[in-house]
Structures are given as structure tokens and as C-alpha cells.
Structure 1
Amino acid sequence: MAFVTAAPPAVIERLAQPRHLIVTLYGLRGLDGRQAGRWFSVAALVRLLADLGIDEAAVRSSVSRLKRRGMLIAEKVGGAAGYALSEPAEHLLDEGDQRIFALPRPSVRDGWILAVFSVPESERDRRHTLRTQLSRLGFGTVSPGVWIAPAHLRTSATDLVARLELTPYVEFFSADYLNDADLTSKIGQWWDMERLHDSYADFLAGSQPVWRRWARRRTATDQEAFADYVPILTQWRRLPYLDPGLPAQVLPADWNGAKAAELFGTIRERLEKPARRHLETTVSLQGEPWSARPTRS
């Protein structure tokens, strides 16, 4: 299996900021669907981030920032201080898991969805939010008020607009591309494919050395798996959001996204279970009292 290398191995460490690592921990723990998995004591977060080379001051500063942004809510469980995911953050992570671990690759025959909108100048802040969120969801720009995405994003797009309370300003249409022009060239106009290609190359460059080490290992500790897997998962989490999941027919033959997805899947298969075991063991050692009723502040 050949991989494209276009960045130094340190790219993973450079991109993995403490607040991003913290969000990854909440996502990793919530994979089993347990409600308790969306709360951490402060002590557990400090201990887990220490295993990733982050000091306590940086952890507490990052938690405070996430709280200000509405991602985390302070809760006490059995007298232990900690933080739970807010409801919007839970929704974001649950929705994200569907893309992070199984980004679809539809066919051109599946069609497209168009979002046509006109938000008044008096509400330009909400217009900016709409554009930002559509882009994050995977939409490309045909023109300032006409955005396009693969048809499989229809439900996610309509749900997004409803949550933003912008439904009166947005019309959705199902569409087929009927022009004779090469669709692949149009894709390059509507989405920044070069940037996405390079982002996948960065992921490959940072993750390859990690996988090479693990491919040679016969035994390793859960803590070692945790220390390697969480930064890789943290970088990977952002890539499927940048990638709209375009049909394979319109992607270049040397598309880094396919290579990156294959590598991530291989790493995940080897490291996720021991990484989660280390997480749960560390949490247990902090004595988190799950039977108590949480108290929010």
C-alpha cells in the first residue's frame, strides 16, 4: 500500500491542540452510547491529558474555553467536580461520528442538493453563520446564494437550517448536472479540492510513522495505544467535515482521501480498543461515582 507524504511527521502533534484533544476524549468515550460516557471529572481529564503530554494548566484553560463556547457544562457528580457535554455538543458529536467513521461515496447518478438562500443585510451575522455551517457540512459554492452538495446530505442540511431558525430564507432543490462541461473541472471550482487533497496528505505524513511503529510491534500497553491513537483521531475528526463525500467518478485518480481513509481504518482497528481501555481504566482510578445524580452549575 503506497501513501503520499507531503508534510513532516510532527504535523499531528502540531495540530492537536488541548481543546481539540478534550473533545476527542468525549467523543471516544461516548461511542458505546452510555450516558455516563459524556461526563468527565476534572481529575480524570487532567490525568488523561497528561498521558498526551499536556500539563494541568493547559487542560484547565482549555476546559474553560470550551465552557465559554457552550460545548461543556459544569456538573458535580457525587461531590466530584467535572464537565458534561452540552446538548448541542452531544448532537454535534453524534452527527459527526456518522461522517468520521463512515463517510459515504455516492454515485453521480444519486444527484445533488441545491441550497438557494437570501438572508437580509440586516441579519448579515446570521448569513455568515449559515455560510460557515453549510461549508462545514460539505457544501460547495456555485454562486454567493447558491450552494451545492451531494444528495446524501439533504437531511443533514435541512436539519441544520431548522436548528439555525433560517428556514424562511432557504430553499432546497434536488438537482442533476445537465451541462456538457466536464463535471470534474466544475467540482474544482465549487470546492477547494487542492486544500482538501493537501490536508489528507498532511494526515498521511503524520500518521504513517505511527503505523509503521505499530506494524512492527507484537506487544504494547494500552497507555501507548491511547497516546498514539487520540492525536491521530483528533486530526482525522476534522477531515470528513472538510470532505463533502463526492462521488468517486469526479475525484482524481491519485486522490489522497481514499489513501488516508484506508490508513485511518487500519490504525483504528488496531488501536481503538486498547486506547478506550486505557481511558476507562484511568477514569475508574479517579473514582468517578456514576450512581450519584449530577448537579449542574
Structure 2
Amino acid sequence: MTEAATAAPPAAAPAAAPALGGDTPGSLLVTFFGAHGRELGGWIAVGDLIRLMGTAGLEEQPVRSAVSRLKRRGFLLATPLGGVAGYALSESARQLLADGDRRIYAQRTPRLADGWVLALFSVPESERAKRHLLRSRLARLGYGTASPGVWLAPAHLYEETRHVLERLGLTGYTDLFRAEHLAFQATPEAVRRWWDLPALARCHEEFLDLHEPVLTRWNRRRNLPAEEAFADHLRALDSWRRLPYLDPGLPPELLPADWPGVRAARVFHDLDTRLGEPAAAYVREIVQGRY
């Protein structure tokens, strides 16, 4: 016996918004490994990691506790190198970070003419854990809910959706379709039912409140103190990397004219351009001679 999946309400995807400014140790560590870990060959000494996280304002014990949690999740592996205690990225972590790169750093202008990708799925009651996993992954990819059992997203998310479903072994429960909206409700009005746009706007506004003043401050400075660049870049990236998953990148004509996501994206990419290389140089300086 199968049961059509009951979709989560449109507000389900933006529910993570309060975490945008959280800067939790675990989140900052994942952000650090995404931004710098692979450049280091996927391994870093314990002492170097603690020092770098200290620059970002974290105490040693919370860092060690967060590392332990990431080890239990299979994200990090305790791997001594040359007699030095350290941590390496697991293969699944590398894949996860590579998937994130495509979404986090993308700069695209979606077009309404590109249409939509629809996801329809049915999972047996005996495999309800997979049903929950499927729903949660679609929500995390930025899908909205048109009706129970019908999830949709802008067409540019098709390849990523297919890749995620294949990686998680969920393709046997799902059908994906390309579609266009024909009738009967005006698409902008329908989009407001499918996504909680006010909640998404608040996410972007929170990011702007936290990081637009940082960009203004850096734009007024000639010198780039490496430690400050590292800390500000890490926190901006940590806040931003959630937003492209909460907001699927809807065509501009479907959004309010003053949509804050446009400005938030510009602030992030300007900060990344301004601080990314100085931050990476600081990391290289700390770990110099170990790799």
C-alpha cells in the first residue's frame, strides 16, 4: 500500500531563518571547511583549527565539542599526519561541499520562460523514514508546495534535484517533470501560495542587517587586516550559505519590486570578492609549513 506524500506548508522551507545570524561553532566549522579545507588538501592540524576558530571568536572547548559532533556525523575523520593530530574531510563531506558550491556562489538571473520542475512522489507506509527524507531534501533545495504531493521549483534546479535524489537512493519513489504555468491563477499570485515570500524576505533582510554595514566599513578602508578579513568573511559566508537554499531563485517578475534578495546577493558577492583572498591568505599563513 502506498500513500501520496502530504506536502509541508509553504512556510516549512523558511523555518530555518533564525539560524542565519547564529554563528554556532558547528555551522562555522562547516563553513570554514567549505571555504578553506579543500584548499588545504582536506586536512588541518587540531592546533591550527583551534587558532583559526579563535580568530573568529570561538573558544577552544566549543570548537572541540563541535568537531566531535561532525566526526559522529561522518563529516570529519580523525587523521594524524606526520605525528600531528588533525582532521580530514570524509568523501561524503567533499561531495556535500561541492554540491553547496554550485548553489552558494551561483550568480544567475532566472527567467520565467524557463518554466518549472515538478516533483511527484509516493512512498510506502513501511518506508516512512524515506518519505520524511525526501520531503526534507526537497524543502532544503528550495521547493514550494503547489498542493499535497506536488512540489515545484524553478527549472534551473532540475539537475541539482536529480543529483541529490540519485545520491540518496530516492529515485525509485519520485517522478520529475518540466512544466509551465498555463492557467488559471496569475503566476505571481500562485507563487505567494507556494512559497512564504514574507518569511524569505525577512531572511534576506536579516542578512543585510548583519553584513551590509560590514561591507560599508571595508569599502572605507585601504588596508585589509588579515585576521579581521578572515573573521568577517567567514561569518558572512556562514550566514549567506543558507539563503540560496531557502530562496530557490524565483524569476524577478514573480517577486515584489523591492525584493531584498537582490541586494543581499550583491552584498554577499561584494564581500566575497573583497575579503575572500585576504581570508585565504591568512589561513595559509597560519598553517604554513605543515602541508
TM over 0.5: yes
TM-score, with normalisation over the residues of structure 2?
0.90
* 1:83-98 correspondence to structure 2 within 5 Å: 83-98=87-102
Match in the other structure for 1:293: none
Which sections of structure 1, spanning at least 5 residues, go unmatched?
1-10, 291-297
Distance 1:230 1:196 in 2: 22
Match in the other structure for 1:141: 145
CA gap 1:64/1:234 in 2 versus in 1, 3 angstroms: same
Q: How many residues align?
A: 274
| Deviation string, structure 1 residues 21-46 (Cα, Å, up to 9, x no partner) | 1111111115xx65x43211111110
- Indicate whether 1:193 and 2:197 are aligned: yes
Which one of 175, 182, 185 corresponds to residue 186 of structure 2?
A: 182
- Indicate whether 1:20 and 2:27 are aligned: yes
Which one of 125, 136, 156 corresponds to residue 129 of structure 2?
A: 125
Runs of 4+ with >6 A deviation: none
Report if the CA contact (8 A) 1:103-1:240 is conserved: no
* 1:71-82 correspondence to structure 2 within 5 Å: 71-82=75-86
CA gap 1:41/1:242 in 2 versus in 1, 3 angstroms: same
Alpha-carbon offset, residue 13 of structure 1: 9.3
Q: Secondary structure at the match of 1:178?
A: coil
Alpha-carbon offset, residue 105 of structure 1: 2.8
- Indicate whether 1:67 and 2:74 are aligned: no
Distance 1:13 1:145 in 2: 29
Match in the other structure for 2:233: 229
Distance 2:63 2:240 in 1: 21
Distance 2:98 2:262 in 1: 23
Distance 2:232 2:113 in 1: 40
TM-score, with normalisation over the residues of structure 1?
0.88
- Indicate whether 1:46 and 2:63 are aligned: no
Distance 2:107 2:121 in 1: 26
Report if the CA contact (8 A) 1:116-1:172 is conserved: yes
Which one of 163, 172, 197 corresponds to residue 167 of structure 2?
A: 163
Report if the CA contact (8 A) 2:203-2:243 is conserved: yes
Which one of 259, 264, 274 corresponds to residue 263 of structure 2?
A: 259
Which sections of structure 2, spanning at least 5 residues, go unmatched?
1-17
Alpha-carbon offset, residue 257 of structure 1: 0.5
CA gap 1:211/1:279 in 2 versus in 1, 3 angstroms: same
Alpha-carbon offset, residue 212 of structure 1: 2.2
- Indicate whether 1:208 and 2:238 are aligned: no
Distance 2:281 2:34 in 1: 14
* 1:242-257 correspondence to structure 2 within 5 Å: 242-257=246-261
Report if the CA contact (8 A) 2:122-2:174 is conserved: yes
Deviating more after overlay: 207-216 vs 225-234: 207-216
| Identical columns (%) | 48
Equivalent AA in structure 2 for residue 270 of structure 1: R
CA RMSD of superposed structures (Å): 1.7
Distance 2:133 2:193 in 1: 22
